[in-house]
Amino acid sequence: MTLWKQTIAEAHKRLSKREISPVELLHSVQARIKEAEPSVHSYLSVFNEEAEAQAKEAETRLKGGGEVSPLTGIPLAIKDILCIRNQPTTCGSKILESFKPPYDATAITRLRQAGAVFTGKTNMDEFAMGSSTENSAFGPSRNPWDLTRVPGGSSGGSASAVAAGEALGALGTDTGGSIRQPASFCGIVGMKPTYGLVSRFGLVAFASSLDQIGPMCHTVEDCRLVLDAIAGHDAKDSTSATFKLSDLKSYAEAGKADASVKGMVVGIPKEFFGAGLDPEVRKVVMDAAKKMESLGARIEEVAFPSLEYALSAYYLIASGEASSNLARYDGTRYGLRVSGPTTKAMFTATRSRGFGLEVKRRIMLGTYALSSGYYDALYLKAQKTRTLLKNDLDKAFKTCQILLTPTSPTPAFKLGDKTSDPLAMYLSDIYTIPVNLAGIPGLSQPGGFSSENLPIGVQLLAPAFHDYVLLQAGKSLETALNLQKRTPVENLSHGNQPATV
């Protein structure tokens, strides 16, 4: 078996048995990156020297010289919004093109402690603002299933890297669906954990009350292994939850072979199936519901009447927080500086040249919403709507352990299709946004395929801190559907049109 094709769990077993070495595994992934990268453009930077050193250190651990975990020697890609010491952290923006942070994000520190190997930093929509990776200042990534289509966003580079075999897993970030939507488009598993479960220290902020780091992998089991490594309280993050992982795991026996949805009540929010939902997506989700029912779950229709307000509330809150967070990029402390005759002129010139169109649009929207005379009418009302959304979800979870919904209204769309229509682009996240507003966990996993052979994801939701119950349900459905081995074609090096193998 080609080494880069393995799941994290499979590779860990072979590494533990000394059937393969971390260096061999890394070299296989690096060769795959060299072959596929000209077609998919998943990476903004590749860490050859550092990755080699990490692989050799993992080799020493595995020979008995150090602590071993399920991630020891595993090649992982990192979204370029997470700080890695002395490595480029651009956030997909010209304004940070030369920035190299002097410290690691907490999630990176924990992956280092687990013995993971970092293959590089992946492409993304600038400052995580987008749903297609077309807003990257360094060019778009492409979907390995069809190179004419987007991989989703903003974690599109991480999604395409995993789907194309350029990493065994990856970290992404999710502010309004930026892990789950690209996971759906690229046919992989992506998880947005409960807000506060994974430390945000070292994550370059877009919207601080919404951002969350999460895993993107081939299987639900692999996502669990990564989550185990990065989750937990962090004193450096004031929003970090104090829950112990052992307490959360007591809610479910996730990851075991007998994980089951038997006896669970699975809710289907009827408002998620209205106008705008592609019929093929609807069929895939309803087929997944039938499959869960056949596994012993009880399916119930539930109401989520506030869904129609979610998009408006999200973009007011997220843009308001972005306008505050991005005020630090002024040319005086780090990143790009464009000289001007006065301080104000320097600020203006730096931001004008450094920020892209979408980032400027959201800063302007957020600043307007927070301005005197509009705060109560816009931002405050959006926050009240956020509470309404959370109350609707809490009500649904009184009778259901899990909710099942579409991840995105459509399969992956073509590059350029929505760049001239921001609202159409924003609607790509209509089903994922409520999860971030409420702070609950969400999981997107492959549910089926369209008539054009494009992956379609289904989304599972659970109450806050029931992340391992969510993983249990996801693994049960994944085993029943048995889609995880269906992948894009191997040869992407010459821009070949992907199919399935």
CA-wise closest residue to 99 among 321, 333, 353, 328: 333
Tell me what the pLDDT averaged over the chain comes to.
93
Active site residues: 79, 154, 178
- Least trusted range by pLDDT, from 27-36, 105-114, 334-343, 456-465: 334-343
Question: Over the stretch 249-276, which tens digit does the pLDDT of each residue have?
Answer: 765 554 444 568 999 999 999 999 998 9
Question: Over the stretch 422-440, which tens digit does the pLDDT of each residue have?
Answer: 889 999 999 999 999 999 9
pLDDT at 253: 52
Q: Is the peptide bond before 154 cis (omega within 30 degrees of 0)?
A: yes
Cβ atoms of 26 and 50 within 8 Å: the answer is no
Tokens 């464009």 belong to which residue? Answer: 338
- Kindly tell me if the per-residue pLDDT of 345 is higher than 70: yes
Q: Which helix (H) or strand (E) holds 381?
A: helix 381-397
Sequence-separated (6 or more) residues with CB below 8 Å from residue 398: none
- Least trusted range by pLDDT, from 208-217, 277-286, 365-374: 365-374
- Relative to beta strand 265-269, strand 298-302 is parallel
In whole angstroms, how far apart are CA 77 and each of 37, 69, 81?
A: 13, 18, 12
- Rounded mean pLDDT of 379-394? 97
- Rounded mean pLDDT of 356-380? 94
Q: Which residues of 29-53 are buried (b: 16+ CB within 10 A; e: fewer)?
A: bbebbebbbebbbbbbbbbeebbbe
- Kindly tell me if the per-residue pLDDT of 11 is higher than 60: yes
CA-wise closest residue to 358 among 142, 132, 179, 202: 132
Q: How far is CA 75 from the centre of its chain?
A: 17
pLDDT at 251: 58
Domains and CATH numbers, the chain: 3-270+294-299+394-481 (3.90.1300.10)
Q: How confident is the model at residue 499 (pLDDT cuts 50, 70, 90)?
A: very low
- Rounded mean pLDDT of 11-33? 97
Q: Which residues of 195-212 are buried (b: 16+ CB within 10 A; e: fewer)?
A: bbbbbbbbbbbbbbbbbb
Cα separation, 359 vs 136, whole angstroms: 10
DSSP code string of 306-370: GGGGHHHHHHHHHHHHHHHHGGG-SSSSSS-----SSHHHHHHHHHHHHS-HHHHHHHHHHHHHH
- Least trusted range by pLDDT, from 266-275, 292-301, 487-496: 487-496
Cα separation, 324 vs 171, whole angstroms: 25
Cα separation, 324 vs 210, whole angstroms: 14
pLDDT at 250: 66
Tokens 């289904």 belong to which residue? Answer: 458
Cβ atoms of 185 and 178 within 8 Å: the answer is no
- Rounded mean pLDDT of 12-27? 96
pLDDT at 498: 43
Cα separation, 132 vs 145, whole angstroms: 15
- Kindly tell me if the per-residue pLDDT of 344 is higher than 80: yes
Cβ atoms of 441 and 460 within 8 Å: the answer is no
DSSP state of 12: H
Taking the CA of residue 306 as centre, how many other CA atoms within 13 Å lie in the half-sphere pointing to its CB? 23
pLDDT at 67: 79
Hey, how many other C-beta atoms are within 10 angstroms of the C-beta on 421? Answer: 10
pLDDT at 500: 37
Question: Over the stretch 125-163, which tens digit does the pLDDT of each residue have?
Answer: 999 999 999 999 999 999 999 999 999 999 999 999 999
- Rounded mean pLDDT of 322-328? 95
- Rounded mean pLDDT of 494-499? 45
449 in the Ramachandran plot: left (φ > 0), alpha (ψ -120 to 50) or beta? beta
- Kindly tell me if the per-residue pLDDT of 352 is higher than 70: yes
Question: What pTM, to 2 d.p., does this model score?
Answer: 0.95
- Relative to beta strand 455-461, strand 442-449 is antiparallel
- Rounded mean pLDDT of 184-203? 98
